[in-house]
Structure 1
């Protein structure tokens, strides 16, 4: 008997999926940034890389589109982890997946925004900081914490060490 083999890229605990992924939507419904719980459109327009765990207990979306903050960056538009995996390691794997899928990063690398008032942690964004992000400011409109990933770390690991350059 032959086993069905699917050509689904896997990056650490992540598999690549699509913007209509129902497991992703259910996780997004439980994320503080969700604007319309239950709506099937849970990603904003633009280019996106959607990753989730095979069990459907963690989601990551890297987004690229028209920005209003002046940065030339890809953005982690949502990350929710309800799995047993360490969030900081999942973030690193998602960043590596993004660089592997999309190639050379923009000048400002990868960023994310964290709403301090919506996070229960006394140290909002701590898992991102542990993964190598650094605080570079706040958003102008809502005062969200702006975090940026040092692009040279993964770029060297993924591209230079694999001779992609």
Structure 2
């Protein structure tokens, strides 16, 4: 697999460096994310992103993970999905999100960004607050017994 070189990586990103699915640092951060899927048979896959086009970013200090993913979403959402954002750094999360957006805009120009937040699995009374501070807006909920909040940021 060839590494993708983006203008963000060439000009220097404030927070991120490009990595790959299965990177041990990214995998360790993913294992601590609330959305991590645990298999009933006990297996622990080395890859953590899932199918489709993906862009894995790890913070320069190895204390944050951001994953963009473009795939056919069963919920009907269109665009590029923020599949994982895990921040264990002292950095401001909303600033990290904005910096990660530059990578995705370079890779997928003009695409809508969206993410899901599970309000029952986070401590905040304002689900997705860091995304909202980065200019994202709530655009709905998924269907089902345990709906997720859907946040989006559309190109200007």
For Structure 1 versus Structure 2, the TM-score category normalised by the shorter chain is 0.7 to 0.9
Aligned to 2:35: 33
The residue aligned with 1:145 is 149
Aligned to 2:52: 46
Alpha-carbon separation, structure 2, partners of 1:36 and 1:71: 24
Given candidates 17, 29, 36, the residue that maps to 1:15 is 17
Aligned-residue Cα RMSD (Å) equals 1.7
Give the structure-1-normalised TM-score. 0.81
The answer for the alignment partner of 2:116 in structure 1 is 113
Larger Rg: 1
Q: CA deviation at 1:131?
A: 0.4
Provide the C-alpha distance between the structure 1 equivalents of 2:68 and 2:110, rounded to a whole number of angstroms. Answer: 12
Match of 1:125 in 2: 128
The alignment's TM-score, normalised by the length of structure 2, stands at 0.85
Q: Which blocks of at least 5 consecutive residues in structure 2 are unaligned?
A: none
Which structure 1 residue ranges, 5 or more long, are not aligned? 1-6, 153-165
Larger helix proportion of the pair: 1
Aligned length: 143
Aligned to 2:77: 71
Aligned to 1:92: 98
Shift of 1:105: 2.7
- Asked whether 1:57 is paired with 2:60, we answer no
Give every structure 1 segment of 4 or more consecutive aligned residues whose post-TM-superposition deviation is greater than 3 Å. none
Conserved in 2, the CA contact under 8 Å of 1:111 and 1:149?
A: yes
